[in-house]
Amino acid sequence: MPELPEVETITKLLRPIVVSRKIIGIDILRKTTILGEPEVFVKNLVGESFTDITRVGKFLIFHLTNNKVFLSHLRMEGKYFELDEEEENTQFARVVFHLDNKKKICYDDSRCFGIMKLTDEARWRQEKEIAQLGPEPFDIDDVTFLINRTKRTSLPIKSTLLDQTLLTGLGNIYVDEVLYATKIHPLTPAKLISKDQWEDIVKESKRILKEAIKAGGSTIRSYHPGKDIDGNFQTYLHAYGHKDDDCERCHHPMRFIRVNGRGTTFCPICQIKKGLPISVGIFGLIGSGKTEVLKQFKEEGFATASSDEVVAQLYKREDIVKLVNKAFNLSFTDAVDKSVLRLHLANNPGDKKKLERLIHPYVKEEVASFIKLHSLSAVEVPLLFEARMEGMFDVLIALDADDKIRYERVISRNAATGDFLTFINQINNSKFIRNKRKADFVLTNNASHEDLRKAVKKIINTLLNRRN
C-alpha cells in the first residue's frame, strides 16, 4: 500500500500537472470508487479548475475553484497517470478526468479498493475519513497523549502504530523500519512502551519519513508513484523485506512473523520482546537433548507440549488414518501404527516429505491452540522450520550435539529403531545446520546433564526477566 512518503511524492508530482487546469469531463468507469452518488460527483466538478493538491496522512486532498474539494485514498494499488487525450486509458482505469489542455488524468486501481469523496473547503476536515485520523509524527512534540491512549492496551506495538486514529502516516513498511531503528520488538504490548521509547518512536518516524520522502518513497511489489517514476527508498530499508538476511547491527538472521495478519520483519536479538505471553520453540536433531530441556521448562512453570505427542494423538484420529492410508496405499484401521509407517518410510524415503506436508498443517493448528492458552509455554518441535512454525514462537532454542554422542543416545534409548532414527538425522542434518543460526539461543549438548541444566536455567531466567 502506498504510504505517507509515496502519497507525498504523488502530491508533488501531480501538483504542477493539474493546478490551473479545468476539468471538461469525467468518466466514472467504476461507480464504487466514488463514495456517494457518481452523478453528483461529476456534476459538481466538471467546469471547475484545480487550485491545489495537499495531503493529510495517506489522503490526497484535491482543491478546486468555487470551494469544491474531493478526497482520494489510493489504498492498495491506486495510481494517477497523465496521458494525452488520444491515448488509450490505462488497463485498470476507474475514473478519468479530461482536462482543458488535451490531457487526461487516469485514476488506475487494479484492486479497486481506492475511494474518492466529494466535499468542500468548509467541511473536508470534518469528513469522518479525515476527522478520525491521529496526528502525523511531524506534528508531535509531546508524547503524553500517546502514553495515555495506550497505557491499558495489550495490543502489540506493531498493531498500535498501524492504527491511523492514534498516529497517521505509518504503514506496514515504515512501522517495521521505525521499530528496527528503536530496537523495539513488534510484539511488545503497547502498554509496556516507556516514555523514552515513545519519544524514540516519534523521533525515528520523523527521520525515516523525511528520508523516504526525499528518496521518492519505496517501490514495493507493483506500486509506483507515477508514470516512469520509481521510489528509491527501498534501497535504504533495513528491516522490511529482509527476512533471513543478516541484521546490519548484530549479524543475526532477521525473522519474519505475522502480527495480526501483517507481515513483519525484525531482529530477534536487537529487538527483544517484553511482557507476556512468552512462547518458546525447541528444535534439534534426534538425540540432541530436546526432551530434557522441555522437562526443565516444565519444572520452571512453563506449560509444555511435544509435537511428537501431538502427532501420536493425530494418528489416532479417524480422518488422519484415512488420509495416511490414501496417501501411502496402506491399510491402518483404528490408528496409524508408527512402526509400520517407519518401515514404509525406510523403504520409500521419498515419502518422508509427503508425510510432512500431510501432517504438519494439523500439528501447526494444534500447537497454535496450545500456545494461545498459556502465558508461558514451551513446545518441542524437531522439524520447526520444515513445518514453517518458526513464526509462531517468541523465542527459538536450538539443541545441538556431536554425531557420535547423538548416535549413542539414540541407540541407548531404543536399539531396535536406532539405525532408522540415525538415518532420519542424516536426512535432516543439513537443514538443521542451516537453521540453527536463526535461533535466539543455541545449546551444544556434548557435556554432562548438569551442564545442560545450568545452561537451560540461565536461558529461563533471562526469559522470565522479560515478563515486565
Q: Give the three cell numbers for residue 353.
A: 516429505
Among residues 60, 48, 47, the alpha carbon closest in space to that of 8 is found at: 60
Q: Is the peptide bond before 225 cis (omega within 30 degrees of 0)?
A: no
Query: Considering 2, 137, 225, 253, which one is annotated as catalytic?
Result: 2
Q: Give the three cell numbers for residue 354.
A: 509427503
Cα 142 versus chain centre, distance: 29
Contacts of 378 (CB under 8 A, 6+ apart): 279, 280, 281, 282, 294, 297, 298, 302, 303, 304, 305
Cα 14 versus chain centre, distance: 31
Does the annotation count 268 as an active-site position?
no
For 100-180, list the strands marked E by DSSP: 103-108, 115-120
Query: H or E segment at 181?
Result: helix 172-182
What CA–CA distance (Å, rounded) separates 164 from 170?
8
Is 98 within 8 Å of 23 (Cβ atoms)?
yes
Is 382 within 8 Å of 421 (Cβ atoms)?
no
Query: Considering 22, 55, 183, 262, which one is annotated as catalytic?
Result: 262
Among residues 158, 151, 160, the alpha carbon closest in space to that of 180 is found at: 158
Rg (alpha carbons) of the chain, rounded to whole number: 28
Is 422 within 8 Å of 404 (Cβ atoms)?
no
Query: Considering 5, 8, 58, 225, which one is annotated as catalytic?
Result: 58
Is 235 within 8 Å of 250 (Cβ atoms)?
no
Does the annotation count 2 as an active-site position?
yes
- At position 229, the amino acid (one-letter code) is I
Q: Which residues are catalytic?
A: 2-3, 58, 262
